[in-house]
Every structure is written in C-alpha cells, then in structure tokens.
C-alpha cells in the first residue's frame, strides 16, 4: 500500500513524528514539495533530529529516501543534513536519491526573499491597509523558497540535471545572475551577488551531490513495479498550500496530497491512502489569519507546554483552539481516509477545551472555509465547549485507556471531520504514539 501523509492545518502538525512511526512499515520515503523551509522533528532515544529536505523516516535502517522533483534544494543545507546522517552511521549514499528534475535554490533567491519581505514590511508601515489587502510581509522562513518556485514557473529555474552539465549550468547561471542583480539593484536597492563565486561554490556541490542523483520517475516506477511500499511525506500544511491555503499567506508549493503526484512523478493511481495530521489544537507561524488564536495568557501556557517554536527559524508559533472548519477543509481537499492527532498531552491541564465548529462574519454564519482571506480575518469563531480531562495522557498507549473526556473530545473531532482517527501521539518520543483501529501500510486493501 502507498500512502500520502499531509499536514491538515498550517504546518508543524507533528508530521515528522508520525512519519517516523509509520516509516517502520514503509520501504521508500519521498519528499515531494517544499524545501529547507520545512523542519520535521524526530526524537529517538532522547536524541533530536530535525529534517529539512531529507525525508524524515530515514532514521529507520534499510529505508530508501527520495527527494522528488517538486522539492527545491539548497545544496549547502542538504549537504549539511547528509553529513549529520552520515555521522549517525547511516549509509546515506545507499539510502538517499535526488531527482534530477528538482530545482536548486541559489544565494540570489534567499536575498530576493529577504528584500521582498523588507519591501512589504515598509509598504505596511507607509500604507496602513497593506496587511489586510495581503500586501504586508508573509513572514517567510527566509530560505529563498518563493523566489525559487517563481523561477521554476517562469521557466528560468536551474535544476539538478543542469548542475550536472557544466557548460549549460554556467550559461544558465550567468543569465540568471545578470537578471537577478538588475532586480536586486533597481527594485530593492540591495547589493548584487557574484557570478564566479556562486559558480565555483556550486561546482563543489555538484561533485558532492552527483552520487545521489537519479531519474526520479524511473527510479520510483521501478520500485513500484517491485511492490515496494511508498510513503509520501508532505511538508508544511494544507492551509499553507499555494492553491488551497490562506493565500497570499502561504508557501509557494502544493503541500496538499495532489502535490505528491506532480512532485514525485507518480500517477494518481499509485496512491492508495491519504492520512491528514492535525494537532489537538492549532498553530501557525508567520502572518495571516488564525481565527481561533488564544488570548495572551493561554497562548503563553500552551506555547510553553507544547514547545511551540519553529524548528527551522525558532520563531514563536501562534496557538489557538482546534479549528474544525479548517481541518474539514483539509480533509476534503486531500481526500483524507483518516487523521492522526498529535500533541494531545499539551491539553492535559485544561479545565475545558473548545472546538471551533463554524464562523460568524458579522451577523452572517459561515460553516465552510472562506476563500477570501480578508473575510477569514474578520470571522469570529463559533465554539463548542467540552470538559477537559485534567490528567496525564503522556504514558497512555491505548484509546480505551484515555480519560473519558479525552475520548469524547477525540470522538467529537472525528464526527466533525467525518473521518476516523488512526493514530494518536501524546509526546515527542517515538514510543509516545499508538494506533487506533486495524489499519496498516502492509495491508493490500
């Protein structure tokens, strides 16, 4: 069985942890979009690993990891990650493959990312209403993700296959550097980047990356023919998807399940199941509406207990109650067969828990997710309040052993989303997760 795992909120749902648990049953782990903006945290035997570009199931011995064509690669960041895995004794040359169609991030992309964010910030200060109109800063991770995807769509991006072809690479890079320097100078008043410095740095990257490069479509086709079980790891989350998220406060790729096909080069018929991952509450980093955002005191309490700080940037995450309108939108877009719920333990101390079951835009009730982000920003959540369980769930490993109030909360989430829960995580360690119901990646149906 081949499975896609996606974030069903604004990213940081704990996908790294869930993937690490599921990876035990998979043969091949595939990243299909995003890049080093992602930070998937896995904790094994008290040691913490944060994966940015490499599939996060690779800590399991004997697995193969693939970085698909839909991913944008910063070679420096990737090589650093490779070195960390190697130091842990993983035979990375055997375990990791990179699609030759993946696009590369260059220093001008990160510089453009920062310059555009600064321009948006100053437009907000001058214009006042820029934020409401989507003209304010996005709050990007600053990793050059957006500008790299812009080049991909504008058909001037440079791919891994280009890097492997020295003459073609220099020619493409020269053209891009000239153009980006014009933009940096004229539009942003920012310093230029230097062609020769980048060319020689990337020549070194080419040699280091060459052993990993494959034709991704062929590679995955062959593995599917051999009956290998594929696990596609979505990065970010549905509400950060460039089409289905809170546009423009989104990332620049398709973080939804559909992205797995285009971003890995596999047909839709090769996907058997989709699992959405949600936190037991909601978080988001960066700008944009978050209807269920907590008031300051509760925010501090949950942020501290849930260690809600970005794995890539260290930024504090904004936290709020579980938003069933958001999660149901994600279930529909992705076609989730089931959901995994993480960080249930973070709510352990709450005397009562709230679930957003709809919105109100002034007097108008809304029960579906609005496409107009400004409208979402105006919406007030409509809450259902349930009793809290006020007991420790972090050692529990069976649904039936959870406190009755926690079971009721989870059953209510299932009813609101219309899909069953298949896994619950109650802590950051690998052991602090248990399956609910009789499904497995090994089954053929």
Contact yes or no for 249/288 (Cβ under 8 A) = yes
Q: Residues 146, 157, 216, 265: which binds ligand IMP (CB under 6 A)?
A: 146
Phi and psi at residue 364, to the nearest 5° = -85, 120
Among residues 31 and 97, whose Cβ is nearest to ligand IMP?
31
Among residues 301 and 313, whose Cβ is nearest to ligand IMP?
313
Which of 40, 52, 109, 329 is flagged as catalytic? 40
Any residues with CB less than 8 A from the CB of 274 and at least 6 apart, and which?
A: 3, 4, 5, 6, 257, 334, 335, 336, 337
The interface mask with ligand IMP, positions 79-118, x = CB under 6 A, is: ----------------------------------------
Contact yes or no for 330/255 (Cβ under 8 A) = no
Query: What part of residues 31-70 is at the interface with ligand IMP (CB under 6 A)?
Result: 37-39
**Taking the complex as a whole, how short is the minimal distance between the CB of residue 405 and ligand IMP, in angstroms?**
29
Which of 12, 113, 323, 345 is flagged as catalytic? 12
- Which DSSP string do the residues of 408-439 spell out, in sequence order? HHHHHHHHHHTS-EEEEE-SSBTTSEEE-SS-
- Residue 420, token pair as written in the block: 């069953």
| 40 carries an active-site annotation | yes
Query: What part of residues 270-329 is at the interface with ligand IMP (CB under 6 A)?
Result: 285-286
The interface mask with ligand IMP, positions 218-237, x = CB under 6 A, is: -----------------xx-
Taking CB positions, which residue lies at the least distance from ligand IMP? Answer: 286
364-366 and 352-361 beta bridge pairing: antiparallel
Interface with ligand IMP (CB under 6 A), residue total: 20
Taking the C-alpha atoms of residue 420 and residue 34, their distance in angstroms, rounded to an integer, is 28
Q: Which stretch binds ligand IMP (CB under 6 A): 71-79, 88-96, 157-165, 249-257?
A: 249-257
- Residue 369, token pair as written in the block: 């997710």
**Taking the complex as a whole, how short is the minimal distance between the CB of residue 404 and ligand IMP, in angstroms?**
33
Contact yes or no for 34/236 (Cβ under 8 A) = yes
Bridge partners, residue 278, by sequence: 341
Question: Which positions lie near ligand IMP, rule CB under 6 A?
Answer: 11-12, 37-39, 138-141, 143, 145-146, 235-236, 240, 249, 251-252, 285-286
């Amino acid at each position: 069985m081949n499975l896609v795992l996606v974030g069903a909120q604004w990213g940081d749902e704990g996908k790294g942890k869930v993937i690490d648990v599921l990876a035990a049953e998979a043969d091949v782990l595939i990243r299909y979009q995003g890049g080093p903006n992602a930070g998937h945290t896995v904790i094994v035997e008290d040691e913490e690993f944060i994966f940015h570009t490499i599939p996060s199931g690779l800590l399991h011995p004997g697995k193969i990891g693939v970085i698909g064509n839909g991913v944008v690669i910063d070679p420096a960041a990737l090589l650093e990650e490779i070195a960390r895995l190697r130091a842990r004794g993983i035979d990375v040359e055997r375990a990791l493959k990179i699609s030759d169609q993946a696009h590369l991030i260059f220093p001008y992309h990160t510089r453009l990312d920062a310059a555009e964010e600064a321009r948006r910030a100053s437009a907000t200060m001058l214009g006042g209403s820029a934020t409401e109109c989507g003209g304010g800063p996005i709050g990007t991770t600053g990793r050059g993700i957006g500008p790299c995807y812009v080049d991909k769509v504008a058909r001037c991006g440079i791919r891994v296959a280009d890097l492997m072809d020295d003459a073609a690479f220099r020619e493409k890079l020269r053209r891009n550097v000239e153009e980006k320097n014009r933009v940096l100078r004229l539009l942003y008043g920012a310093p230029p980047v230097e062609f020769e410095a980048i060319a020689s740095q990337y020549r070194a990257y080419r040699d280091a990356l060459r052993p990993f490069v494959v034709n991704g479509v062929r590679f995955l086709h062959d593995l599917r023919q051999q009956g290998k079980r594929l696990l596609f790891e979505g990065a970010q989350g549905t509400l950060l998807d460039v089409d289905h998220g809170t546009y423009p406060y989104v990332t620049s790729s398709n973080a939804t399940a559909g992205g797995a096909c285009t971003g890995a080069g596999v047909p839709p018929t090769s996907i058997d199941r989709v699992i959405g991952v949600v936190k037991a509450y909601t978080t988001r980093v960066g700008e944009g509406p978050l209807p269920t955002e907590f008031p300051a005191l509760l925010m501090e309490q949950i942020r501290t207990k849930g260690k809600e700080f970005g794995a890539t940037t260290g930024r504090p995450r904004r936290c709020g109650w579980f938003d069933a309108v958001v999660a149901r939108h994600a279930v529909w877009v992705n076609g989730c067969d089931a959901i995994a719920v993480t960080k249930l333990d973070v709510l352990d101390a709450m005397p009562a828990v709230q679930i957003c079951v709809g919105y109100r835009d002034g007097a108008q009730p809304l029960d579906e997710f609005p496409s107009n982000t400004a409208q979402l920003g105006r919406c007030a959540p409509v809450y259902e309040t349930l009793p809290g369980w006020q007991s420790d769930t972090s050692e529990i490993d069976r649904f039936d052993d959870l406190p009755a109030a926690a079971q009721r909360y989870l059953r209510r989430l299932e009813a609101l989303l219309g899909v069953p829960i298949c896994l619950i995580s109650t802590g950051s360690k690998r052991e602090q997760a248990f399956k609910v119901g009789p499904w497995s990646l090994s089954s053929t149906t």
